[in-house]
Amino acid sequence: MKIYATHSGKAFAKKIASHLGEKLHAVDIGKYPDGQIWNKIIDLPHNEIALVVGNTLGSDGLVELLTLLDTVQDFSVQKTVVVVPYFGAGRQDRANEPGQDKAGRMQMKVIACERPNRIVLIDLHNSSLKECTALDPRIRNMEPYAKTVFLDVIRSMDLTSDFVFAAADVGRLGIARSYAKEFKVGTVYLDKRREGPGQIEVMNVVGDVRGKTVIMIDDIVDSGGTVIQGARALKKEGAGDIHLFATHLVLSGRGKKRFLHLSELFTSLHGTDTIELPHPSIFQIHSIAGLIADCIQKEIL
């Protein structure tokens, strides 16, 4: 196997390589004077499995991934595996009104056009996006969840039986219930209304949280508005300690600063390493690279 990565996937790819007993192979990536992205693979693949790792966080991230994948496909490889730790357009999965884009669907189709044998995605905002590649039977999608890692962390917290899981919105209710089932406890969710991009108004908490420890489950924390307003709604309803678990820590705009002074809301903050964060981080980071490496080893190698 040869493992390659874009700028946004390099840190995560190194961890995967370490778990697999491999090394990350060098790729030169840059821009032409007009801003176009170029790359050059230093150690070429020859009749091997090629693993390409990269996020689609921002337009540069997407183009870097597509350019590197296209370069790899020029060579004779046994199979090509694409790992997208954070699929950036995952929330652009449907049009809420006429004229809105569906960039998530478009980006999945573009990645599929490069005809990789496997696409590994982690905690998609909407798993139905994987269906965009269904027309090509040669492509198999895999979606490991951070749940396995988070469950171990939650068990180590030695919580009392008087706790519940909270879904950040009704769309994550199924995931929150799957966590709650492991501990035989209840589930609540936050009923919210979206006033506009990045603007969230939490309407009410559906379920009883009075006097209980709450574990909030979400897939993405971006500006932080949803979970912060959600935590305030939970506190208003009498919740005790609140522990936040989110897979993808985008933390754009004011997101990084918002959590610095929220000790009155959150007892602990947890995330994964799908997106590299500057150190030190206010979130406790739990690596899921080992989970992805195991998935690759069992399903691909």
Answer yes or no: is 252 within a domain.
yes
Same domain, 192 and 226: yes
The model carries a pTM of: 0.89
Residue-number span of the structural domain to which 236 is assigned? 147-286
Answer yes or no: is 13 within a domain.
yes
Same domain, 93 and 134: yes
CATH code for the domain of 101: 3.40.50.2020
Same domain, 273 and 197: yes
Of 143, 164, 193, the residue that ends a domain is: 143
Same domain, 103 and 189: no
pLDDT digits (tens, 9 = 90+) for 240-255: 999 999 999 998 877 7
Q: What is the average pLDDT across 134-150? A: 80
pLDDT digits (tens, 9 = 90+) for 252-283: 877 778 887 776 799 999 999 999 987 767 89
How many domains does the chain contain in total?
2
Dump the DSSP string for the chain.
-EEEE-GGGHHHHHHHHHHHT--BPPEEEEE-TTS-EEEEESS---SSEEEEE----HHHHHHHHHHHHHHHTTS--SEEEEEESS-TTTT-SS-SSTT---HHHHHHHHHHHT--SEEEE-S-SSGGGGGGGTT-TT-EEE---THHHHHHHHHHT---S-EEEEESSGGGHHHHHHHHHHHT-EEEEEEEEEEETTEEEEEEEES--TT-EEEEEEEEESSSHHHHHHHHHHHHTT---EEEEEEEE--TTTHHHHGGG-TTT-SEEEEESSS--PSS-SSEEE--HHHHHHHHHHHT-
**Quick one: pLDDT at residue 269?**
94
% of the chain at pLDDT higher than 70? 87
**Quick one: pLDDT at residue 239?**
94
Same domain, 35 and 51: yes
Largest CA-CA distance found in the chain, in angstroms, rounded: 61
Same domain, 179 and 106: no
Of 88, 114, 143, the residue that ends a domain is: 143
Same domain, 163 and 227: yes
Same domain, 128 and 218: no
**Quick one: pLDDT at residue 59?**
87
Answer yes or no: is 293 within a domain.
no
Same domain, 137 and 154: no
Answer yes or no: is 29 within a domain.
yes
Of 96, 122, 143, the residue that ends a domain is: 143
- Cα(43)–Cα(18) distance, integer angstroms: 18
**Quick one: pLDDT at residue 7?**
94
Same domain, 113 and 160: no
Same domain, 37 and 69: yes
Answer yes or no: is 295 within a domain.
no
Same domain, 36 and 127: yes
Q: What is the average pLDDT across 6-35? A: 95
Q: Is the pLDDT of residue 286 over 80?
A: yes
Answer yes or no: is 123 within a domain.
yes
pLDDT band per the 50, 70, 90 thresholds, residue 72: very high
Answer yes or no: is 299 within a domain.
no
pLDDT band per the 50, 70, 90 thresholds, residue 4: very high
Answer yes or no: is 301 within a domain.
no
